[in-house]
Structure 1
Amino acid sequence: MCHRRSIDCSKNCYLGLHLGSLSLHGVIVDSELKVIFESLVHYDVDLPEFGTKTGVIEDAAYDEFLCNPVMYVKALDILIESLVSQGADMHSVVSIGGAAQHHGSVYWSDIGLRRLCNLNPIFRLHEQLTNQAFELTRSPTWRDFSTDEQVREMEFAVGGAAEMAAITGSRAYARYTGPQIRKVFRKCPEHYERTSRISLHTSFLASLLIGGVAAINHTDGSGMNLLDIRKKTWSKKCLDACAPDLARRLMRPIKPSRLQGRIANYYVQRWNFRPDCMVGAFIGSKNSEMAGLPGLTDYLMLSLDTSDAIVLPLKIAPVINEGHVLVHPTRPDEYMGMLCFRNGSVVRNAICEEVANGCWESFNQMLDDTPMGNNGNVAIHFRDREIIPIAQGTMRWDADVDPMTQESLRGLPRFEAPEIEARAVIEGQIMHHFSVASEMGFTSDEDTKVIVVGSDAKNTRILQIVADVFNTRVYQRNGPEASLLGSAFRARYAFYEHRECACNCRPCRSWDRNSKLSYDEFFKVPDGLTLAAEPTPGCVQIYQPLLGRCAQMCRVLASKQ
């Protein structure tokens, strides 16, 4: 062992960021990972000049969900200013971890790169990175599904959907970054030609912090239909199917454990960050939620948020026809499976507004007043085009609807009571999620945990329905939102891995290689889970037949596309 003085980390703080669909959220945690400062910038409320509703520009086409990257730039400026105004000492922040919504892309101009690399601390961020910094000021977010044509072109070019899934972990999806880039190349060739670099929202946020273009990492790159998830390099076949000279614009992908660099001098001079503050590789929201659950093995994570998702760890990368296989954010050579559902909390909030005037207390009382199974009344609400299956519309069946009749194709216009509508939307969503997960091979036993995270994870009535439909115990994650917690955890581990274990003297070079703790081993803390709901006796007998009817309703909606 070397004789260097041990590092005192007790005063260190770590910054976790999450650039979400609706807001930019940040927390500062201390050395014990306790939140000491927190700030939230809501795009619609705090940045009205960008004209967004639910985080996207209102005047876009029905299948386009776009945003101006300058909005995110200004949000970061406001968030840091808010943390400082609360009394946060940014000089104590030694490492920054981050997460952002998946798939969204940003197109840098030459002017933007020059300004990014030469930020002036006298001016605010958004005063320098203006519209001129980006080739597209209406760039796609993960909710955009306007690229069906590009999906077909890319799958045909690589040899079909199965070949695309074998290479990239999933067949081509309209909201994935590859088809989005191809649409820009096809529809706006002059803008694509002038684009110097393309960032995902994750690497874009990291770029703002390091004052240079951050690389895309393997975890987030596996949500683009461009990365070979086994070789962990860009697939030439997929790049060629997407757009010309794309590898240069994307740069070489890096491991999610790599550092992007040190924080830019701009933040040192303007906000008193320390010059050696590390910026890690930022990852997608759902990846970060998984990073917030270190040490767990037999579990399924259900995210109830703007979009719902089911995430589970995988030892190997299977080839699947539906859903996504991504590179694991914290376990080298492992993977994670993800099933995304577009119609999440936006639909739940809309039905709550319709039946309870937006009052969740009244809505929850309606759930209490209706029986498990809702007397056979089931509703599927795909207000936006769903991902699995590809379908859009609303379908309601009561217990008397025969799937073999014409009535089943039309469904019911409404249920007779608002409390029936309330339970129908929640049960319909959860049964749909369970059905898709079961088709993907999910099974559970008495040791399996369903961990619910996201904005609706604190609603105990919804969690009880999850427990009954999945027929397993349901747990909540304590503390801040899971994606933020994952960001803070990864910031803390980055400091351990790259600073505390980074001595290069001869004794330490051999000793550290064998003794460095893995991500899961490092966080020797209680798992932070609280039992929230257990299955109600008799739930299997009630939901088993309803699951089949739910699947039939989804197929009816899909057949109408």
Structure 2
Amino acid sequence: MCHRRSPDYSGNTYLGLHLGTDKFRALILDANLKAIYFSQVRYDVDLPEYGTKYGTVTDGGPMEFLACPVMWVKALDMLLNSLESQGADMHSIVAVSAAGQHHGCVFWSDLGLRRLCNLNPHLRLHEQLPESAFELIRSPTWRDTSTDKEVLEMTQAVGGSLEMAAITGSRTYARFTGPQIRKVFKQCPEHYERTPRISLLSSFVTSLLIGGMAAISVCDASGMNLLDLGQNKWSQKCLDACAPDLARRLRKPVASSQLQGHIADYYVKRWNFRPDCMVLSGTGSKGAELAGVLVEKDFIVISLDVSDTITMPLTKAPHLEEGHVMRHATRPDQFMGLLCFRNGLVARTIICEEVAKGNFDQFYAMLDATPKGNGGNLAVHFYDREILPISKGVLRWDPTMDNQQQECLRGVPSFETPEMEVRALLEGQIIHHCAISREMGFGPDPNTKVIVVGNDAKYHNLLQIVADVFNTPVYKRSGPEVCLLGSAFRARYAFYEHRERPCNCRACRRRGCREPKLSFHEFFRNVPSGLTLAAEPDPDSAKTYAPLFGRISQMCQLLGAQGAQFLDSKMNL
């Protein structure tokens, strides 16, 4: 046996970061995995100089949703200052992990790379990485759907939608990184030519932390329409369909569990980080979300946030014509399924402003004044172009609406009361989500646990609608945002995997003293999941909602047909 003295890790802390759509958050866990410090920067409120709404600017071209990368740099600086001002001992942080909103990307300049590698601790981050550090001063985000022509071009180049889905796990989507890069190559060829590196937002944050260029993890890379999902490497066919000399700008993708290095000296000198603080590969928001749930199998996660999503772990990669199959962040040989619904919190906020002057407590309390099923009054609110199905517009149907009549295309202008408007919106959203999930094979079976997370998971009335429509019990997790918690858990596991395991000295290896490495879920198996039962379906819920599924599908089809006509006209311009 090894006679070396066991180190004391009881004072260690672990930092998780999440660069989200509308805010940048940070969480520090202590050695017992208790949340001890939290901070957030809301772009719209705390960084008003960038002029964002829900984290993006929309004054560019049609369907463009962009953000300035300097805003994210400044937000990171503000987060670390906030943690320090709260009294956090930054020197106790032994590992950091970052998550970022999927699909968004950053185009670095040569000057930016040089500045990144030579950060001066006497200056703030954004003072050293201004707009000149980036070839594009406005980066595309996941909400951007301005790349329909590029989607068509890439799809045709690889041999069709089914071939793209077979290679990458998803058909070509307008918001995915591949079409966004192709659009930059076509419209700004001089900027593309000068770009030495392209980062996803998760690897962008990781690059800031290590003071150098971090590689993209395979988990996040699988949301680009560029990764060969079966081989865990870039697909040359997809790269060729996207832009020239792209592999050099992306670098090779790496395992999500791989360390990217130690924290840059800049952070050691400015915030007193320890020099050996490890920085893990970043991952996408949904990968971190699954890591934070701490449920091993038989569950789906419904996130009610800026976008609504349904995520579930998959042991094998199914071939889907719609939806996404991506690499799992903590199970190297497994996958995750993802359905994304673009009109989530944004649509709820618009109606909340109309009927409750932006007061969400009052907004959700209005549900108590209307019966389940809303007397057959339903609404679809696709203010932004929806993803599943591709459609845009607002449509309200009362119970007398006949889908065979011309008036069904217009619907009714409004419902009788604000309370009916609220229930029509919320039930319409959840029925739509459930219908799509069933079509894609993501619908829960009797043994599946439905876990609801996100900004709106705190409203019990909404969770009751989820339970009734999905006809299954619904659980929620108390405490920090699940995605942020997952990032911190990944940092904790990285410390175990790369430093804490039994001694690796020659004597121990020769004597076989080393214990088998625990998987991520084995390591956290005894940690309470924090899940509590939030709502159970009423016995008559299936009878109430079953007739409404068909009507929601019809309404979406009508909006989709109108959207297809708009798309055809746009493609012909």
TM-score (norm 2): 0.96
Q: Quick check: 1:521 aligned with 2:522?
A: yes
Q: Secondary structure at the match of 1:199?
A: strand
Q: Is the 8 A contact 1:107 1:136 kept in 2?
A: yes
Please give the per-residue CA displacement for 1:192-250, whole angstroms capped at 9, x wherever unaligned: 00000000000000000000010001000000000001100000000000000000000
Aligned twin of 1:225: 225
Q: Secondary structure at the match of 2:153?
A: helix
Aligned twin of 1:534: 536
Name the CA distance, whole Å, in 2 between partners of 1:55 and 1:233.
Answer: 31
Could you tell me which runs of 5 or more consecutive residues in structure 2 were left unpaired when the two chains were aligned: 564-573
Moved more, 257-266 or 290-299: 290-299
Please give the per-residue CA displacement for 1:442-489, whole angstroms capped at 9, x wherever unaligned: 343332211001111111110000000000000001210011010010
Q: Amino acid of the residue matched to residue 109 of structure 1?
A: S
Q: Is the 8 A contact 1:14 1:94 kept in 2?
A: yes
Name the CA distance, whole Å, in 2 between partners of 1:513 and 1:117.
Answer: 38
Q: Quick check: 1:506 aligned with 2:518?
A: no
Shift of 1:295: 3.8
Q: Is the 8 A contact 1:295 1:521 kept in 2?
A: no
Aligned twin of 1:327: 327
Moved more, 47-56 or 249-258: 47-56
Aligned twin of 2:390: 390
Name the CA distance, whole Å, in 1 between partners of 2:426 and 2:435.
Answer: 14
Q: Secondary structure at the match of 1:274?
A: coil
Name the CA distance, whole Å, in 2 between partners of 1:296 and 1:545.
Answer: 34
Aligned twin of 1:338: 338
Q: Amino acid of the residue matched to residue 256 of structure 1?
A: S
Aligned twin of 2:568: none
Aligned twin of 1:76: 76
Q: Secondary structure at the match of 2:458?
A: coil
Q: Amino acid of the residue matched to residue 286 of structure 1?
A: K
Aligned twin of 2:301: 301
Q: Secondary structure at the match of 1:425?
A: helix
Name the CA distance, whole Å, in 1 between partners of 2:480 and 2:513.
Answer: 33
Name the CA distance, whole Å, in 1 between partners of 2:71 and 2:443.
Answer: 42
Q: Amino acid of the residue matched to residue 533 of structure 2?
A: L
Shift of 1:157: 0.3
Aligned twin of 2:571: none
Aligned twin of 1:318: 318
Aligned twin of 2:34: 34
Name the CA distance, whole Å, in 2 between partners of 1:406 and 1:78.
Answer: 55
Shift of 1:508: 4.2
Shift of 1:84: 0.4
Q: Quick check: 1:549 aligned with 2:558?
A: no
Q: CA 1:334–1:546 in 2, change beyond 3 Å: closer, same or farther?
A: same
Q: Amino acid of the residue matched to residue 519 of structure 1?
A: F
Q: Amino acid of the residue matched to residue 183 of structure 2?
A: K
Name the CA distance, whole Å, in 1 between partners of 2:529 and 2:212.
Answer: 36
Q: Secondary structure at the match of 1:81?
A: helix
Q: CA 1:405–1:26 in 2, change beyond 3 Å: closer, same or farther?
A: same
Q: Amino acid of the residue matched to residue 419 of structure 1?
A: E
Shift of 1:361: 2.4
Q: CA 1:514–1:334 in 2, change beyond 3 Å: closer, same or farther?
A: farther
Name the CA distance, whole Å, in 1 between partners of 2:310 and 2:513.
Answer: 36
Q: Amino acid of the residue matched to residue 497 of structure 2?
A: E
Q: Amino acid of the residue matched to residue 167 of structure 2?
A: I
Q: Quick check: 1:261 aligned with 2:242?
A: no
Q: CA 1:282–1:508 in 2, change beyond 3 Å: closer, same or farther?
A: farther
Please give the per-residue CA displacement for 1:56-91, whole angstroms capped at 9, x wherever unaligned: 124222300011100000000011001101111100
Aligned twin of 1:274: 274
Shift of 1:365: 2.2
Q: Secondary structure at the match of 1:2?
A: coil
Q: Secondary structure at the match of 2:293?
A: coil
Shift of 1:410: 1.4
Please give the per-residue CA displacement for 1:15-37, whole angstroms capped at 9, x wherever unaligned: 11110111111011101111111
Name the CA distance, whole Å, in 2 between partners of 1:455 and 1:443.
Answer: 22
Q: Secondary structure at the match of 2:456?
A: coil
Name the CA distance, whole Å, in 2 between partners of 1:512 and 1:58.
Answer: 59
Q: Secondary structure at the match of 1:364?
A: helix
Q: Secondary structure at the match of 2:455?
A: coil
Q: CA 1:512–1:111 in 2, change beyond 3 Å: closer, same or farther?
A: farther
Give runs of ≥4 in structure 1 deviating > 4 Å. 507-514
Name the CA distance, whole Å, in 2 between partners of 1:145 and 1:513.
Answer: 51
Shift of 1:362: 2.0
Q: Is the 8 A contact 1:51 1:58 kept in 2?
A: no
Q: Amino acid of the residue matched to residue 193 of structure 2?
A: E
- 1:346-365 alignment runs, 5 A limit: 346-365=346-365
Shift of 1:294: 2.5
Please give the per-residue CA displacement for 1:140-174, whole angstroms capped at 9, x wherever unaligned: 01100000000000010000000000000000000
- 1:159-174 alignment runs, 5 A limit: 159-174=159-174
Aligned twin of 2:97: 97
Name the CA distance, whole Å, in 2 between partners of 1:190 and 1:16.
Answer: 37
Q: Secondary structure at the match of 2:305?
A: coil
Name the CA distance, whole Å, in 2 between partners of 1:346 and 1:160.
Answer: 32
Q: Is the 8 A contact 2:263 2:278 kept in 1?
A: yes
Name the CA distance, whole Å, in 1 between partners of 2:153 and 2:87.
Answer: 53
Aligned twin of 2:560: 558
Name the CA distance, whole Å, in 2 between partners of 1:512 and 1:534.
Answer: 49
Please give the per-residue CA displacement for 1:313-372, whole angstroms capped at 9, x wherever unaligned: 101011100000000110121000000000010111111111111122222221011111
Q: Quick check: 1:421 aligned with 2:444?
A: no
Q: Amino acid of the residue matched to residue 519 of structure 2?
A: S
Q: Amino acid of the residue matched to residue 521 of structure 1?
A: E
Name the CA distance, whole Å, in 1 between partners of 2:421 and 2:514.
Answer: 58
Name the CA distance, whole Å, in 1 between partners of 2:390 and 2:513.
Answer: 50
Name the CA distance, whole Å, in 1 between partners of 2:61 and 2:182.
Answer: 18
Aligned twin of 2:497: 497
Q: Is the 8 A contact 2:504 2:514 kept in 1?
A: no
Name the CA distance, whole Å, in 2 between partners of 1:9 and 1:365.
Answer: 47
Q: CA 1:154–1:512 in 2, change beyond 3 Å: closer, same or farther?
A: farther
Name the CA distance, whole Å, in 2 between partners of 1:273 and 1:355.
Answer: 48
| Number of equivalent positions | 561
Aligned twin of 2:51: 51
Moved more, 241-250 or 361-370: 361-370
Aligned twin of 2:195: 195
Q: CA 1:508–1:556 in 2, change beyond 3 Å: closer, same or farther?
A: farther
Name the CA distance, whole Å, in 1 between partners of 2:494 and 2:420.
Answer: 49
TM-score (norm 1): 0.98
Aligned twin of 1:374: 374
Q: Amino acid of the residue matched to residue 213 of structure 2?
A: V
